[in-house]
Each structure stands twice: as C-alpha cells, then as structure tokens.
Amino acid sequence: VELGSPDNLTHDAQIKGAASNRQQAEEAYQGKVTGWIKDMRYEMGLSYRAIAARLNEDNRRTRQGKPFHATTVMRILKRAELV
C-alpha cells in the first residue's frame, strides 16, 4: 500500500508545511502567554514589572528565548489590545 502523493513531497510543499507548523506553534504559545499575563494584570492586579519577574521566576521565556521585561509584557498586552 502506497500512501500520499508525490506532489505533496516537493521541496516547496515541505517548506510551506514547515512554515505553517511554525506559525501555528507561535500562535499557540502567544495565546498561552497572553492568557497568563492577562490573568496576572487584571485578576491579580500586578504591575508590568511584577508580571515580568513572575514569568522569569517560572522560567518562562519570550519567543526568542529571552527573559521577560516590563516593556515586553506591556507590548504583548498592547498587541492583544488589552491595554
């Protein structure tokens, strides 16, 4: 039994599939982080600096693998239109 189509295995299709997977992973990660930040800001009343400190204490990192800063937290909320 032969599964799949050779057309789906082209180099261009592999690149397109990998890009789609990356995009979906980034969106899922961003959704989680935004949820955590939203909860800490609006339910717990923490400042941007306190949120960044808490995320760093929990060994959470930005998409680039860097520690969070207050400005990063603010920008994430702003992009999510929650500021």
pLDDT tens string, the chain, 83 residues long: the values are 566 666 666 788 788 888 887 777 777 677 888 999 999 999 999 999 999 999 999 999 988 889 999 999 999 898 887 55
**Dist. CA 74–CA 17, nearest whole Å:** 32
The pLDDT of residue 24 is 76
Nearest CA to 51 among 31, 72, 65? 72
For the CA atoms of 7, 13, 14, 18, the dihedral, rounded to the nearest 10 degrees, stands at -150
- pTM for the model stands at 0.67
C-beta separation of 7 from 13 below 8 A: yes
